[in-house]
């Protein structure tokens, strides 16, 4: 079955080539079959370009602020979040539907498993949600077996808590076994659910949250199975400090020693990467998923994009569930990243060609490892977003302006009219085609409110935990690693995995 898409303007390779006028794109079997001229004569005020790729996200159904997660230092923010357990399929479908309406055709979904032993069944629900909505999803299987509350000695947090909270937390500070069983589950999940639109990845949450032996097991199985790995790395200053104190050779060098640095690896954030680390990661073919707004909101800092460019270290962009305006507006966040990293000189430090390479080609590499996404040409994947170009230019007095400048300056989610993924029309005329997001959001929020009402004290308890965590790091206790060697771990049953 084939279909055609006609637009006034087509950005075949955004930032690399001028827009093509009056274009007809023929789609067949999930690919672009042909691109022809319509001959003009009838305008629809639309512009098409490759669909955006959200290279790092957690698929929140309830936005973090609504769970008590007001912007704060990362570790305090994590501690402040209340928890609600709602059907994973429903939550993922809500999150994916919002992304589709923002022009996102693919996302890396870092699953927030509330109970790790349910990962297999929860993965089934997320796979179903991805199929219902219609976007591509790389499912990152969460793996964690260290430092549930703070980096370092968990018991050093106890004095900062009220007595009642202290007693409750003490019961959770028992050392559990390494999470190798979670590593083994990944292949089972892949065998059951993987297809062209749903990929499965190893998801060690981060080196500060995984034992060394667990990271080693992931490196081995990733190489043996040729499966991608997605992990957080050096997001906050406190992570940098603890990892520097714990790994004398440096955390990135350690990851290289165990074989984890490879073209299969995506690291999220990388805010505190050094020149030496960037050079090594570039040599190994690693990709960094930059999360501009989240890092600003969590006071983590600004990713060293100029350093990444200097060393040739590929990077993509992710929303991380914490976009600038607490929505999933990819175009607005892309604009923020562009302005933040474009330098102060006469020449652009981050020209549109490199910006869109990150948003599309390198982003898609985080999905399945391929390096051929980002152009609308015959044979390419038929993943396209169509924007209301007329609405973006309705006040223009000078009609002949560069289309890329206009998209980067004005495009937002509200301009998304259509989204095609693998040739399927996922969004049509600004509405999801095969999924009722309004009903799904209503059902999800009703269920989430009922769950939250079962523990009315949860928000206050998490605020107390937040201030205890703040006091712990203010005391500098995370720098004393003598009491907590790298392989020591504590485990909190039912831990939620952080951003």
Burial of 424 (0-12, 13-18, 19+ CB in 10 A): middle
Give the torsion sign (CA, 398, 404, 409, 412): positive
**Within a domain: residue 239?**
yes
Q: Which helix (H) or strand (E) holds 105?
A: strand 104-110
Contact 218, 143 (CB under 8 A): yes
Mapping DSSP to helix (H, G, I), strand (E, B) and coil, where does residue 213 land? helix
Identify the residue whose tokens are 């570790």: 75
Mean pLDDT (10-residue bins), the chain, 499 residues: 93 97 97 94 91 97 89 95 86 97 98 77 96 98 94 94 90 83 94 97 97 97 98 98 96 98 98 98 98 97 98 98 94 98 97 98 98 97 98 90 96 98 98 96 94 89 94 91 52 37
* 408 part of a folded domain: no
pLDDT of residue 116: 62
Q: How far is CA 384 from the centre of its chain?
A: 20
DSSP assignment letter at 287: E
Residue 455's SS3 state is coil
Q: 132: helix, coil or strand?
A: helix
Q: Which residues contact 101 (CB under 8 A, 6 or more apart)?
A: 328, 413, 416, 419, 427, 430, 432, 437
For 37, counting Cβ atoms within 10 Å of its Cβ (0-12 exposed, 13-18 middle, 19+ buried), the class is exposed
Q: For residue 425, is it within any domain? A: no
DSSP three-state, residue 310: helix
Residue 159 carries which DSSP code? G
Say if CB 333 and CB 287 are below 8 A apart.
Answer: no
| Residue 399: inside a domain | no
Q: What is the pLDDT of residue 67?
A: 85
Please tell me the distance from the alpha carbon of residue 62 to that of residue 84, in angstroms, as a whole number: 9
* Residue 85 CB burial class (10 angstroms; 0-12, 13-18, ≥19): middle
d(CA 495, CA 169): 12
In a domain, 231, yes or no: yes
CATH number (domain holding residue 59): 3.20.20.140
How many Cα atoms sit within 13 Å of 436 on the Cβ side?
A: 6
Closest CA to 221 of 188, 269, 176, 245: 188
Return d(Cα 10, Cα 46) in angstroms, integer: 9
58 token code pair = 């957690």
Question: What pLDDT is attached to residue 117?
Answer: 73
Determine, yes or no, domain membership for 61: yes
Backbone dihedral region for residue 137 (phi beyond 0: left; psi -120 to 50: alpha; all else: beta): beta
Count of domains observed in the chain: 1
Determine the distance from the C-alpha atom of residue 344 to the mean position of all C-alpha atoms in its chain, rounded to a whole number. 28
What are 158-163's contacts with CB under 8 Å, separation 24+? 160/467, 160/468, 160/469, 160/471, 160/472, 161/464, 161/465, 161/468, 162/464
Which residues constitute the domain of residue 194? 51-144+179-382+443-454
**How many Å apart are CA 370 and CA 377, to the nearest integer?**
16
Q: In what order do the strands lie in the sheet with 384-388?
A: 31-37, 20-28, 2-10, 46-50, 384-388, 416-421, 424-428, 431-432
Q: Residue 449 domain-assigned?
A: yes
Asked if residue 433 is part of any domain, the answer here is: no
């Amino acid at each position: 079955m084939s279909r055609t898409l006609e637009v006034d303007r087509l950005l075949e390779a955004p930032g690399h080539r001028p827009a093509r006028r009056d274009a007809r794109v023929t789609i067949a079997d999930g690919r672009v079959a042909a691109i022809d001229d319509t001959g003009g004569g009838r305008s629809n005020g639309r512009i098409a370009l490759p669909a955006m790729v959200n290279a790092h996200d957690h698929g929140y159904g309830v936005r973090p602020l609504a769970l008590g997660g007001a912007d704060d230092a990362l570790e305090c923010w994590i501690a402040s979040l209340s928890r609600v357990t709602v059907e994973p399929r429903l939550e993922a479908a809500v999150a994916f539907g919002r992304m589709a309406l923002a022009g996102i055709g693919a996302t890396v979904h870092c699953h927030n498993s509330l109970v790790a032993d349910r990962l297999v069944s929860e993965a089934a629900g997320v796979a179903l949600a991805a199929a219902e909505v219609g976007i591509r999803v790389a499912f990152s299987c969460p793996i964690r077996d260290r430092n549930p509350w703070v980096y370092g000695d968990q018991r050093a947090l106890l004095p900062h808590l009220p007595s009642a909270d202290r007693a409750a937390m003490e019961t959770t500070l028992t050392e559990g076994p390494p999470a190798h069983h979670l590593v083994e589950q990944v292949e089972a999940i892949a065998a059951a659910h993987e297809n062209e639109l749903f990929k499965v990845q190893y998801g060690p949450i981060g080196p500060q949250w995984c034992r060394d032996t667990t990271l080693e097991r992931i490196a081995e199985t990733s190489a043996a199975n040729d499966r991608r790995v997605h992990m957080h790395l050096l997001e906050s200053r406190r992570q940098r400090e603890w990892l520097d104190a714990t790994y004398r050779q440096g955390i990135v060098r350690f990851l290289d020693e165990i074989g984890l640095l490879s073209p299969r690896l995506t690291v999220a954030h990388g805010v505190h990467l050094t020149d030496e680390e960037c050079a090594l990661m570039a040599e190994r073919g690693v990709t960094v998923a930059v999360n501009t707004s989240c890092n600003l909101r969590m006071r983590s800092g600004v990713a060293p994009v100029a350093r990444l460019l200097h060393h040739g270290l590929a990077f993509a962009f992710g929303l991380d569930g914490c976009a600038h305006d607490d929505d999933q507006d990819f175009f607005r966040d892309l604009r923020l990243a562009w302005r933040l990293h474009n330098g102060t000189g006469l020449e652009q430090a981050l020209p549109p060609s490199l910006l869109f390479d990150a948003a599309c080609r390198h982003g898609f590499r985080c999905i399945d490892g391929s390096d051929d996404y980002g152009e609308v040409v015959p044979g390419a994947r038929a993943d396209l977003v169509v924007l209301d170009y007329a609405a973006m230019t309705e006040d223009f007095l000078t009609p002949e302006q560069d289309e890329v400048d206009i998209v980067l300056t004005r495009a937002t989610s509200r301009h998304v009219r259509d989204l095609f993924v693998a040739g399927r029309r996922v969004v049509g005329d600004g509405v999801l085609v095969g999924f009722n997001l309004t009903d799904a959001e209503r059902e999800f929020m009703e269920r989430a409110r009922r769950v939250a009402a079962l523990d009315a004290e949860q928000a206050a308890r998490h605020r107390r935990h937040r201030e205890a965590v703040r006091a712990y790091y203010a005391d500098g206790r995370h720098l004393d690693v003598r009491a907590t060697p790298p392989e020591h771990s504590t485990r909190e049953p039912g831990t939620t995995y952080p951003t």
